[in-house]
Structure 1
Amino acid sequence: MKRFLFSTAMLLAFVFFSSCLWASEPLWIDVRTADEYVSGHVDGAVNIPYTEITSRIGEVAEDKEAPIYVYCRSGRRSGIALESLQQAGFTNVVNVGGLEDARAKAADAAPE
């Protein structure tokens, strides 16, 4: 019985810590137009144009404290998206800048 309880406790601890690690993965949002997104984007990024960010963020993010990385072509539109998300209560949003900056940051963050 003790082994069963110990095994169960270890399994629950593993699941808990795994979910914490997974939850800390940032959500990448490309705030450019759909045509720009199709021409190239960060792997795993979702496309929500900056003009629609506040009305559509609920489709991809519920936790307002989860990390969100936004990017566009140059950083201007992602700056606007950052401000909109902050006004909507999101507290962990980063303007990564342009697409090339975002690709470099994503490559740096990728596990080896």
Structure 2
Amino acid sequence: MSLPIALIRAHLVIDHDADDQLLTHYAAVSALWVAAYVGAPFDANNALMVQAALLLVATQYESREAVTFSNAYQLPFGVHDLLSPLKDRVTGHVAEVAA
């Protein structure tokens, strides 16, 4: 599993295990999204990746409805900021090799 269920429950302040299957699914989806965004495998030891994944899990858990009045493409506050330093940059620039 990408994120420990105990950590997810603590983040969401949940004291029961009734939603563990759903939370585990959201954690897997969040880890895959983080990995795709930064262009590197999800690392459960990377605090930035873990925090961003927890924010995504919380948003998915709290907003399970398909219809919302907020922007459907908006990420939770802080996700971009947490992952920006980890993201592979593709600029098209190729450095010249000194002869």
TM-score by length of 1: 0.25
Larger radius of gyration: 1
User: Looking at both structures, which has the greater relative contact order when contacts are Cα pairs under 8 Å and sequence separation is at least 6?
Assistant: 2
TM-score by length of 2: 0.28
Structure with the bigger percentage of strand: 1
